[in-house]
A and B are shown apart, each in its own frame.
Chain A
Amino acid sequence: MMLIPCPFCGHRNESEFAYGGPVKPDRPDPHAASDEDWVDWLTTVPNPLGPVEERWWHVKGCGTWLTIWRDTRTHCVVEGSGDAG
């Protein structure tokens, strides 16, 4: 059970949140993107052995969708992609 930093509430237990998955690039323009790019955006997410940027929804708290960097090896919440926590 992690402690997740919510920008409004501060650190809260993971069980108050719903996992929102890794942050993808911005949604491509559906009229401009090729089929391949569209499918790639839909199905392929960053899966790093290290810090990953991801979203959580503070559904049982203030309702904020927040973004954190978390190291997938340690589960430490870190500053950014370069911080191996």
Chain B
Amino acid sequence: MSYNASFERLPISACFDLKGAENALVEWIGAEILPGFPTEANRRRSADGLSLDHVGPRHWLLHADIDREDELNAALRPHLAPAEVSIVRISDTMTTFRVAGADVAHVLAIGCPLDLHETAFPEDAVTFTEFFGQKALVRRCAGGFDVSVEQSYGDMMEDCLTRALR
């Protein structure tokens, strides 16, 4: 391997798709459960093992470890939520790759057109963009980036990353 970087495919984690007005979501879910809403677009807020990504207009993703999925599902009650609020469990829809190492920025740039320099993409940044041609959620992690893609593309992404690291 000629780049100083490596990747691993992370186990599934819990993820809920939240849509609607912020106050309606807070009202339904209760402010105490959520880590607080990020105020800016494409930013993340984390607390107590939960993180909330502001990924689109009136659109957030709530992440947690998979062992908290049932607990969160019980708290969010997606099927009972009021009409204005959409809460959908989407844990299985994405698969995540952790890419890290000294050359990680270059490796990411092989697949991603977005400027991920720290001046353009700070610590708490998170966004949907493109990775090897597919829609992908990109965020920083210790020493690198976590990149989530639609689960069915997982094998292909592994294929691409292996080639990129040559």
**A, B from the same assembly:** yes
Chain A contact residues, CB within 8 Å of chain B: 1, 7-9, 12-13, 15-16, 59-64
A61 to chain B: closest residue by CB: B128
How far apart are the CA atoms of A60 and B148 in the complex, in Å?
Answer: 12
Q: Is the CB of B129 within 8 A of A16?
A: yes
The interface residues of chain B, by DSSP majority, are classed as strand
B82 on interface, CB distance cutoff 8 Å: no
Residues of A within 8 A of B41 (CB): 8-9, 62
Number of A-B contacts (CB under 8 A): 45
Residues of B within 8 A of A61 (CB): 56, 127-129, 135
Q: Is the CB of B113 within 8 A of A62?
A: no
23 intermolecular pairs with C-beta atoms under 8 Å apart: A7-B57, A12-B114, A12-B129, A13-B130, A15-B113, A15-B130, A16-B129, A16-B130, A60-B129, A60-B134, A60-B135, A61-B127, A61-B135, A62-B56, A62-B57, A62-B59, A62-B127, A62-B128, A63-B56, A63-B59, A63-B128, A64-B56, A64-B57
Q: Is the CB of B135 within 8 A of A59?
A: yes
B99 on interface, CB distance cutoff 8 Å: no
How far apart are the CA atoms of A18 and B127 in the complex, in Å?
Answer: 17
A62 to chain B: closest residue by CB: B56
Contacting A at CB under 8 A, from B50-70, are 55-57, 59
Q: Is the CB of B114 within 8 A of A60?
A: no
Residues of B within 8 A of A64 (CB): 56-57
Given A16-B130, A61-B129, A64-B57, 12 extra CB contacts under 8 A: A7-B57, A8-B41, A9-B42, A15-B130, A16-B113, A60-B130, A61-B56, A61-B127, A61-B128, A62-B56, A62-B59, A62-B128
